[in-house]
Structures are given as C-alpha cells and as structure tokens.
Amino acid sequence: MSSPAGQHLRIGSLELRSPVVLAPMAGITNVAFRTLCRELELARSGSTSGLYVCEMVTARALVERQPATLHMTTFGPTETPRSLQLYTVDPATTYAAAKMIVDENMADHIDMNFGCPVPKVTSKGGGAALPYKRTLFGQIVAAAVRATEGTDIPVTVKFRVGIDDEHHTHLDAGRIAAGEGAAAVALHARTAAQRYSGTADWNEIARLKEHVTDVPVLGNGDIFAAEDAVRMMAETGCDGVVVGRGCLGRPWLFAELSAALAGTPEPTPPNLGEVASIIRRHAELLADHHGEDKGLRELRKHVAWYLRGFPAGSEMRVAMAMVSTLTELDDLLAQLDPTVPFPKDAEGPRGRQGSPGKVSLPEGWLDDPEDCLVPAGADLMHSGG
C-alpha cells in the first residue's frame, strides 16, 4: 500500500513535519517518556517531527495550582511544541485554565479530552459522556478558544464515537468544535461502552472526515505498527494519526511511523542490547523527574512492555518488576543477551484492553442533549482517555 509521501500536518500555527501525535496517557506520557520518544525519533530518523502530548491535567487542579498537577506540566528544556491536554467539564474553569496557560507561557498547544470512558468519570457526566450535552460541549470549547485569542496557541479536541451504539455524538462534536474555533479534532474510534476492548471502527473516522471539512481530522485507535498508520490514513482520508497504547514499551515507534508516512525506509527495530539501553535511559529520565525512588517505581510498569516477546525468563521479569535503584537496574540489564533480535511476537496490541460494559451516567443524563447544567462533582475526576 502506498503511503502519503512527505505528508505534513498543520494545526493552527503549528506546522508538523509528520502527521503523528502521541496520545496523552495518564502516568505514561510525562516529560521522561516524551523526551525518550523525541530522542529516539531524532537518533533514528534525523529529526523530531510529530506532536508529543503531556499526560492529561484537570483544569480545576491547574487553576488551583495543585503541586502534583503543576509537576505534571513539566516540559523538557528543548521540547517544542509543548502540548498540554486539559480534562474539563465547565466553561468558566476551562477559560481560567486556558488563560493561565497563555499568561504564564505554559504550553504552545492545548488539547481537550472528551474521550475518557472510566466509570468514575462518566458517572459524573465528564469525559466521554459530556459531548452528549451538545450546547455545554460547545460552550466549553468556545471558552478555551476565547482564552487563547490573539495568540499562536491552537486548541484541539479529542472525543470518542459516542456513549454507546445507540448514542453516537462524534459527528455533532466535530461540527460543534470546528464551529467554535478548534484547530483540529481527533476521534478515538470506539464508544465509551467499548472502553479499550474489541476493535476501533475506522469507518467512523472516515465519516467524521467527510462531515468536518474545515479543520484537520485525526484518527486514533488500533495503531500498533507503522503500516497501521499508513492504512488508517489511506482508508479513512484522515489528516493524521494519534498513537496511544501502541508505543508502550516501544518509544522508538515514532521514528518508524514518521518514516512510513514519509515513504522512506523504516529503521530496523532494536535488538535486546539496544532495548536495555533504552530502558536505562528511561529510568534515568524518570529519576530526574520524580527522584530515584519514585522514578524507579514508575519504570516497573514499563518493563513488561519493553521485554515482551524477548527470552528474558520469569526470574528476570520478576526482579525487574521490583527494581528500586539505578544500580540494581544496571546489574539486571547486564544479564540480558544483547544480541537477541527484536521478536516478531512482540508486535500487535498491547496495554489495557478489558471488556465492554454499560456506561455509568448521571441519572437523567440522556433526557435532554441541550441541557447546559455543568456536571456536579466531575471537575476533579480524571484518568486516561
């Protein structure tokens, strides 16, 4: 299948040399992981060309300057463009958070998350439940756009196909977001009821692309290899791809994606020795960001993804999952055979999948899609989307 050679992506003032976006993932896409992805893309392809989004922060917690939230907004010294995603449920807090980002030069791009399917979020009317309230959704997007007026900071919006198969909202959400001034929209091609299970319905990305013609439409869902991105763009006509779980344990994936979408040869996947070096660099970056103790605890969840398919042995995997210092990590990594090539069975779906389920919603949520009441208690609930 031919790729869209040399494809660029413009999102408002941002000109990206590659139409690839790292999806924000809670507890994953902190400054350490983003730095690692950027370093590997630069080393393997000669440039950093996509957009790497910070893990999602709650608008209210940002405005209240909660220390943990401010720490999450850390960007690397050479990181550009700096991309920050907000979780938000009401126009006033959205405006205050976006204005704070502008006034304090905290980021170059604001993305807004309306994709989170987690029950504790949707049960309050937040995340993937909110676009059902069309008017409120439009007011929230408009508030962020208004706060960034006169700046080069574009606002983009990410959402799902809808609550469930009976309540699709993505076509309205795309139209409303573009109408309120969003510079691009991104669709995770699953409903909230699917969560992360089953397969993403790329046909819905194509439908959204046909429906929204004045801003770029990005596709998200089931991109686990470079050829998936090429196929999604060819099949749906979308303007770019958003990659989440596919890069877990594979931060070098962005170099492969950029090459495939530019029609240039893809870099060779790393052998076990190179993966060990990448794990060590990830640990070092996490220790810089969190301190060694917490940083190494954060690394543990990544280790199983990094070693997937490699002949590492159960004892090694258990020891790596309990690692607590850089010295300990060095001793373990030294025991791996550096010559083992990247295994074929390491490819394919990874990360959380789970099973579909009924979406938890506030009582009466589906009664009136034009109701503008801000969901009570949802402004501090957040997770990945």
Q: pLDDT per residue over 254-271, tens digit each?
A: 999 989 988 888 899 999
Beta strands per DSSP E along the chain? 9-11, 14-16, 20-22, 51-52, 57-58, 83-87, 109-114, 155-164, 167-168, 184-191, 217-220, 240-243
Q: Cα separation of 328 and 122, whole Å?
A: 41
Quick check: 189 pLDDT over 90? yes
pLDDT for res 382 = 47
Q: Classify burial at 246, counting beta carbons within 10 Å of its beta carbon; exposed 0-12, middle 13-18, buried 19 or more.
A: buried
Residue 384 has pLDDT above 50, yes or no: no
298 and 152: one domain?
A: no
Report whether pLDDT(149) > 70.
yes
- Residues 201 and 295 grouped into a single domain: no
- 180 and 320, same domain (yes or no): no
Residue 4 has pLDDT above 60, yes or no: no
Out of 91-95, 195-199, 225-229, 307-311, pick the least confident. Answer: 195-199
Question: β-strands 14-16, 9-11: how paired?
Answer: antiparallel
Length of the chain: 385
382 within domain boundaries: no
Give the pLDDT confidence score for residue 5 in this predicted structure. 43
pLDDT of residue 381: 55
Tell me, what's the pLDDT at 348? 64
- Within this chain, do residues 201 and 292 fall inside the same structural domain, yes or no? no
Which one is predicted more confidently, 165 or 381? 165
21 with 117, same domain: the answer is yes
Residue 374 belongs to a domain: no
Each residue's pLDDT tens digit, 17-37? 999 999 999 999 999 999 999
Domain end (from 209, 243, 262)? 262
For residue 284, the enclosing domain spans 272-338
The larger pLDDT score, comparing residue 313 to residue 281, is at 281
Contact 214, 247 (CB under 8 A): no
Residues 6+ apart with CB under 8 A from 138: 176, 177, 179, 180
Q: What is the pLDDT of residue 1?
A: 32
- For the purposes of burial, counting CB atoms within 10 Å of the CB of 339, is it exposed (0-12), middle (13-18) or buried (19 or more)? exposed
110 shares a domain with 40: yes
76, 48 in Cβ contact below 8 A? no
Query: For the domain that residue 310 is a member of, what is the CATH number?
Result: 1.10.1200
Q: Give residues with Cβ within 8 angstroms of 17, minimum separation 6.
A: 8, 47, 49, 50, 258
The number of domains in the chain is: 2
In a domain, 244, yes or no: yes
Strand 240-243 and strand 109-114: the pairing is: unpaired
pLDDT > 80? residue 108: yes
Last residue of a domain, one of 208, 238, 262: 262
What pLDDT score does 2 carry? 35
Per-residue model confidence as pLDDT tens digits over 215-231 = 999 999 999 999 999 99
Q: Which CATH number covers residue 41? A: 3.20.20.70
Average pLDDT, whole number, for the chain?
92
Rounded to an integer, the average pLDDT of 56-64 is: 96
Q: What percent of the chain has pLDDT over 70?
A: 95
Amino acid identity for residue 341 in this structure = P
Better-predicted residue by pLDDT, 353 or 141: 141
Regarding whether 112 and 179 lie in a shared domain, the answer is yes
For residues 15 and 146, state if they share a domain.
yes
Please write the tens of the pLDDT for every residue from 324-381. Answer: 999 999 999 999 999 999 998 776 665 566 678 899 999 999 999 998 888 888 887 5
Q: What is the pLDDT of residues 270-291, one digit of tens each?
A: 999 999 999 999 999 999 999 9
Residue 155 shares a structural domain with residue 194? yes
pLDDT (average), residues 171-190: 98
Regarding whether 292 and 184 lie in a shared domain, the answer is no
In a domain, 81, yes or no: yes
Q: Which of 212, 240, 262 is the last residue of a domain?
A: 262
Residue 186 counted as domain residue? yes
Going by pLDDT thresholds of 50, 70 and 90, the confidence category of residue 76 is very high
Answer yes or no: do 129 and 157 share one domain.
yes
Tokens 């990945």 belong to residue: 384
The answer to whether 262 touches 6, Cβ cutoff 8 Å, is yes
Q: Are residues 257 and 314 both part of a single domain?
A: no
- Is residue 200 within 8 Å of residue 190, measured between CB atoms? yes
Q: Tell whether 362 is covered by a domain.
A: no
pLDDT at 377: 82
What percent of the chain lies above the pLDDT cut of 90? 83
User: For residues 106 and 167, what is the distance between their CA atoms, to the nearest angstrom?
Assistant: 36
| Ramachandran area for residue 41 (φ above 0: left; ψ -120 to 50: alpha; else beta) | alpha
pLDDT at 70 over 90: yes
DSSP 168-189: E-HHHHHHHHHHTT-SEEEEEE
Distance CA 129, CA 365 (A): 9
Q: Is 54 part of any domain?
A: yes
State the DSSP code for 373.
P
pLDDT tens digits for 233-243? 999 999 999 99
Residues annotated catalytic, as ranges = 116
